[in-house]
Every structure is written in structure tokens, then in C-alpha cells.
Structure 1
Amino acid sequence: MRERVKELWKRCFNDSKEFIELYFRLRYNNEVNLAIESGEEVIAALQMIPYPMTYAGSIVSSSYISGACTHPDFRNRGVMHELLRQAFGKMFRNNVLFSTLIPAEEWLFDYYAKRGYSATFHYEIKTIKRKEEYHTTKENTLVDLFGINIPDWEKEYQIECITDYNENVYQYLNNKLQERPCCIQHTQSDFNVIIEDLKLSKGSIYTLQHFQHMTNNPKEIIALAIAYPDENNPSSFFLGELVSDTKEAELILLSNIVHENNLETVKIAIPSIKEKPILTLGMARIIQVKPVLQLYAASHPEIELNIALTDEEISANNGYYYLNNGRCMFSERRLPETHQQLSIGELAEIVLKKERPYMSLMLN
């Protein structure tokens, strides 16, 4: 099955040979794969990659749809729709709460919206340009990108460039990602895949470490950046992640990345902080409604809501939901109340929008 799915992937996507080999060596396995066959040929396939996800103060299960593709000769026949139905059923039985994905093309946002997904994962790009006065002096005084002096920084801090798996690096990133209220998390095995993909891109992980005097742990990570060089601009980096304990630690790390690589600009993907997000990356769909609404109600006890829900793909979600005093009650029969009629996609928008969902490092 693996080789037949790989052949379909090659036919449908324009990925490099190196990336395809990486994906099918490290990420693909038959347990996460779903496929539809015609004779001996795989005509549609997708992989359901499990990811933990922070939501409403808990870590819940989510399933990321990866590599969804249909053979060109079988498109527009409902094959992918049937495959998604099978995927939703399997996720539901496995107690997955959310399904997520990143549409490969713009028109696919509408396609997946018809299957119950909502465009909820947003982000912004922060661009930093190197200042003319940026420099480091013989006295180890660093004038950072913003013109702030940080004296004697080398006495307290150390920069490391890493290209292989490091447990301390993973744990630091993992802790920082878990601080985000609604965010896709990365397991250790997935972080290994990220590292291998980073190598293909000739990227690196940069860490800022603080010397801990008089302790058994002489160095502690206080900032981390995952950097990808811009293929079209050798004087520019893209940071897929930038996390730190303090603003000063972030500035020191950024400034050194710029200095060591002789960069003019750095572009950083960051969670959206605006009411109207600038850029949309991914979509989410609720798979099991009741546990999601229970978490939502518990984290928003002030909300009173009566919902008449329609889910055209997962019939078990259809029914009436009543949120009151931090609890959610479900009924298959309509109670004598005023209800808000919602589709499954509209419900996802309600329960996720205020949480500002975020995903990064998805090999997209």
C-alpha cells in the first residue's frame, strides 16, 4: 500500500523527491492511511496524523488530514468526499475531538467548508529589517535590531546552532507551545520529522542559553528559533517558530541570528493578535460535539446557549445542545426553548474563534 500511495502522491503533488522519501519514511504508516482502490490502483488517499491540541484549558486529541489527493482520472466523482466520510467515522470511533487541515490550494477552502471545516487557524508575518547601526563591539556590547544596548551579553548568554534532535530543545519548545491556549502540539516523534525536514531546507534551530552560576545545570534555554533560509533571497530568513522567556532574550537571539548569517531581513510567523486576522493558514472541524461543548461551557460559564445542530457528515452529532452554568446537556428531542440553528462549521467558528487557534511547523 505504501508504494501505491506514494505513486499517487507523486502524480498529484509537486514535492521534491527528497521530501517525498522523508514523508513516507517518517510520517506515513498504514495505520494512519485511508485509501480507495480501483482494481489494483489507489485512486484516492489521505493520512490522519494524530496531534495533541490545547483547548479550553485541556489537551485534547486532534487528527490532521495530510496528503489528501485523488487520481486525476477520478476527480469530481465524489471519491474524496467518500474518503473524508470514512475518515470522520474512524476519528469519531477513536474519540478524536477535532480534525484539522491546511488546504493545498485556495479553492479548497470552499470545498472543505462544505464538509464541515471552518477557516479558524490564522497567523501574521512580522518582518524585521536590520538597522544600519546594528553591530557588536569588541567590548561585547550588542546593539540589537531595535537599537537597544545589551552590555556584556556574552558573559551571561550563549548561542547554539542545532541541526539534530536534542531533548532539551524539544522540551523547551513543547513547554512553550503548551502555554498557547489553542494550539497544535508536536510530539517527540513529530519533532524528529520537523528536524529532518529542516535539514532538507538547510535550516537550523537556534537557542539562547543562560549560564546558571552555582547550579548543576550550567546552561538553561531561554529562547529558541526555528529558522529556514529564503531560497530566493540569501540575506533573509523565515522563522517558523520564535519563543522566549523574556523580550530581552528574544532580542539577543534575533540579533545574533542576523549577525551570524549577515541577514538584512527576518520574517517571523506569529499567532494573530488582531480581531481581524491578516492571513489564514488552516481549517478545523469538530468531530465529537458533546465533549467539545462540555469543555467550551466549562471555560465560559457565563454563556447560555441553546443549539439545534446539523452535521451532514456525522449523524451522531445531530441534536440539541443546552449550555448553562458551565455545563452542556444533550437531547435528541427539542425542548421548549428558543434555539440557534447551527451547522457543524458554524459551531466550530463559535467555539474556536475567541481562542485564536494556531498551528506551526506542519511541513506545509
Structure 2
Amino acid sequence: MNTIDAVKKIWKVCFDDTEEYVDMFFKEVFDPSHLMLSEHDGKPVSSLLLQPFAMNFHGVELPANYICGAATLPHFRMHGIMSGLMRQALRRSYDQGALLCCLIPAEDYLYAYYRNFGFCPAFYSQLSCFTDAHPFRHDNDYTLVADLDTDEAYEFFNAVMHSRPCTIQHTRQQYRQVLMDNSVSGGAVVAVSSLGGIRAMAFAVPRNGQVVVTDVLACDTDAENAVLNQIMLLFSGMPMRVMAYYGDKPLQLKPRGMARITNVLLCLNAIANSHPRLCATIRLTDPVIEENNRVFRVRDGRVSEFSHLEFMGKPDFDITPEVLAAIVFGNHVTANILDFPSVRPFMSLMLD
């Protein structure tokens, strides 16, 4: 059995995915260069994928890695094998120059597990629920877009994604993979146009008797209602659950994923450049990435760093990577209390 077949076997044992989805993933998404593997007696028993993405972060676009498919065969669990892989993934992310690692826990209890490696709940979606009779009223006329695997469709998608601060971005290829994921999951991607251009796009999949909209991108509320109305017509008789980007005043947030800052200097440099009035001294203790064990002084748009031994003053924050992520990716309340430019991040459409 070759390595790819062995990893596919781990995937099938550990995840409840259809054969069609697994075949699509390993044909269209899987890249051997992203694979991290642990073996026992020469046979793979645990694996994960460390996939490269990007995040628009305080005015710059920085590398960000996404951990997916983290799994260990049942007989080899509780021996620290995945813990070792997670630490290796964080180390590799730092070496690759990634700002952070992010992931989506497969089960709620795993949030506590990933905290052990400095991950913090950071990504949320705004949850809205509608009955199958909800009227999505709109004033303007729209036309359905027939083909969404086009440069025009991607340009609309990419523009809306980049308008969202601190959001995980998708390349053209990753966008195409999202389309394929929706297709094999029995879902649909719907877009509407008006005045010669795409105005809204929504991604929907049927789950447990309801249609789940995993993201909706729109120029305005009218276009959003128009595309959601099309989803409601397509999945007639099913209630709708919308997991969307939150606005300035989110009503109901649902946890979406976790973040772990892997390169603290890169993170603070970006923040300092965009917020030159920020003044803070941060002492960080990182048990996984030795290079982060520094004292960072942010002042006048620049970051100075010192070893723990050479810094003699008292820091404003004496924290771990988990707490740093909670501050950097906090909400407006965090920002106001700590006088720090916290920004809530967002990610969607991660093939989860």
C-alpha cells in the first residue's frame, strides 16, 4: 500500500465522508507536499494536511496555514502521536513564514484539546435561521448566473472576501475546489446578476433535513435577499440555516474555528505598521516555537525585541500564544478594554 492509499485509509476510518467526497478530495485537493505523517513499524497511523492559504491582516496579505484531516487510527490514539504532529505542524508553519495556523475542530470537545498547543477560539459566523416559508423580499430584478467556474465569478468572490478584514482568502484553484466540494455534497452554488455584473453569491448544502448556507457574499441586502430566495426555491420545503459573515452588530455568533499565532514578530509588525500610535510591551512564553519566547515592544509603528533575560522592565502583557490570539483576534469589547486594535477574523468554505 502506497502512502496516499494509507492516508486515504486513515481518512475513511476516522471521518464520516462519502466515497464520492473522499475520491474528489484526494484527486483534486490532496497535495503530498502538505502531508505530515507519523508511522508505526513503517506503516502510517496518523496524519494531517498543512494547507497554505492567506489572510488579509491589518492592511497586508500574509501567509496562513490551515490544518485539516488531522486523524489517528483508533488503536494508536492516546499515545501522544497527534500531539507530536501538531507541534511539528506549528514548527513548520513558523519556518514557512506563516502568520498563523487555523483549524476547525471536528467535535466540540476538541476545542479543549487544541488549546494545549496555543490555539484559541477566534473564528465565528453569524447564525440566522429561517422557516421554509420565509419571504426573502427584494426590490430589484436579478438574473441567475449559469456558470460560476469563471474568472468573472471568482473576481466577484475574491473582491468580497478581501473586503472583509482579517479573512482567510482563497486562490482561484481553491475557489474551484469549493465548487467541487459543494457539488459532491449534493449542494448548490447560486449567483445572481444585475446591470451586467454579479451582485450576490451563496453556497448551500442540505444537512439533516435543512439547507445550510455556508456563506453568502453580496453587494447589498437586496441582492443578498435575492440569492437566498433562489436557494429557498431550489431546496423547496426545507428550513434554512445561514452561516454568514458578521456585520458591525452581530446578533448570534456560532464558533467556527481556532487560530494559533505562529510568528509573533510578523504579527506585531503588521499591527504596528497600521497603528503607529499603538504602544505596548508584550512578554510571550511559547512552549512550542522557541523564537517566539521574546519580549516585544511596540512603539511608533515599530517593533523591538529582547530576550527574557535582557528585558528588565515590567511588560504590559505577560502572556502565552493562546492569550495573544485572544487579544489580536478579539472583538470590539476586547479592543476597548485593552486599548488594542483587536479585529475579529473570519473564515468559510474550508471543505469541512
Report the TM-score, using the length of structure 2 for normalisation: 0.89
Deviations along 1:115-165, one digit per CA (max 9) or x if unpaired, are: 011110111211234658x5xxxxxxxxxx35x6x3xx44xx312354x62
**Match of 1:348?**
325
Measure, in 2, the Cα distance between the counterparts of 1:198 and 1:221: 19
Match of 2:180 among 186, 189, 196: 196
Measure, in 2, the Cα distance between the counterparts of 1:276 and 1:77: 42
1:173 aligns with 2:145: no
Measure, in 1, the Cα distance between the counterparts of 2:117 and 2:235: 45
**Match of 1:184?**
168
Which secondary structure state, in structure 1, belongs to the residue aligned with residue 200 of structure 2? strand
Structure 1 residues 160 and 276, CA, compared in 2 at 3 Å: closer, same or farther?
A: closer
Match of 1:243 among 210, 217, 229: 217
8 Å contact from structure 2 (residues 121, 259) kept in 1:
yes
Measure, in 1, the Cα distance between the counterparts of 2:227 and 2:15: 36
Measure, in 2, the Cα distance between the counterparts of 1:10 and 1:257: 31
- The residue correspondences of 1:317-328 to structure 2 (distance < 5 A) are 317-328=292-303
Unaligned residue ranges in structure 2 (runs of 5+): 331-341
Match of 2:208 among 218, 232, 243: 232
- How much does 1:249 deviate? 2.0
**Match of 1:6?**
8
Structure 1 residues 268 and 275, CA, compared in 2 at 3 Å: closer, same or farther?
A: closer
Number of residue pairs matched by the alignment: 336
Structure 1 residues 179 and 111, CA, compared in 2 at 3 Å: closer, same or farther?
A: same
8 Å contact from structure 2 (residues 21, 185) kept in 1:
no
Measure, in 1, the Cα distance between the counterparts of 2:312 and 2:48: 43
- How much does 1:321 deviate? 0.5
- The residue correspondences of 1:1-364 to structure 2 (distance < 5 A) are 1-129=3-131, 145-146=136-137, 150=139, 153-154=140-141, 157-162=142-147, 165-211=149-195, 219-228=196-205, 230-233=206-209, 236-259=210-233, 261-263=235-237, 265-273=239-247, 278-332=253-307, 333-339=309-315, 340-353=317-330, 354-364=342-352
Measure, in 1, the Cα distance between the counterparts of 2:213 and 2:181: 14
Which secondary structure state, in structure 2, belongs to the residue aligned with residue 241 of structure 1? strand
- How much does 1:335 deviate? 2.6
Instruction: Supply the AA of the counterpart residue of 2:318.
Output: Q
**Match of 1:215?**
none
Instruction: Supply the AA of the counterpart residue of 2:143.
Output: Q
Measure, in 1, the Cα distance between the counterparts of 2:116 and 2:77: 17
Report the TM-score, using the length of structure 1 for normalisation: 0.86
Measure, in 1, the Cα distance between the counterparts of 2:76 and 2:241: 40
8 Å contact from structure 2 (residues 14, 71) kept in 1:
yes
- Greater shift in the superposed pair: 296-305 or 55-64: 296-305
Q: CA RMSD of the aligned region, Å? A: 2.1
Structure 1 residues 231 and 76, CA, compared in 2 at 3 Å: closer, same or farther?
A: closer
- How much does 1:358 deviate? 0.8
8 Å contact from structure 2 (residues 124, 254) kept in 1:
yes
- How much does 1:178 deviate? 0.6
- How much does 1:361 deviate? 0.7
8 Å contact from structure 1 (residues 272, 356) kept in 2:
no
8 Å contact from structure 2 (residues 126, 250) kept in 1:
no
Structure 1 residues 277 and 60, CA, compared in 2 at 3 Å: closer, same or farther?
A: farther
Measure, in 2, the Cα distance between the counterparts of 1:74 and 1:283: 25
Instruction: Supply the AA of the counterpart residue of 1:59.
Output: E
Which secondary structure state, in structure 2, belongs to the residue aligned with residue 31 of structure 1? helix
**Match of 2:336?**
none
Which secondary structure state, in structure 1, belongs to the residue aligned with residue 201 of structure 2? strand
Deviations along 1:8-29, one digit per CA (max 9) or x if unpaired, are: 1122222111111111111212
Which secondary structure state, in structure 1, belongs to the residue aligned with residue 169 of structure 2? coil
Compare CA radii of gyration and give the structure with the larger one.
1
Which secondary structure state, in structure 1, belongs to the residue aligned with residue 327 of structure 2? helix
Which secondary structure state, in structure 2, belongs to the residue aligned with residue 358 of structure 1? coil
Aligned residues with identical type, % of pairs: 28
Measure, in 2, the Cα distance between the counterparts of 1:267 and 1:362: 18
Which secondary structure state, in structure 2, belongs to the residue aligned with residue 99 of structure 1? strand
Instruction: Supply the AA of the counterpart residue of 1:110.
Output: A
8 Å contact from structure 1 (residues 173, 243) kept in 2:
yes
Which secondary structure state, in structure 1, belongs to the residue aligned with residue 107 of structure 2? coil
Instruction: Supply the AA of the counterpart residue of 2:329.
Output: L
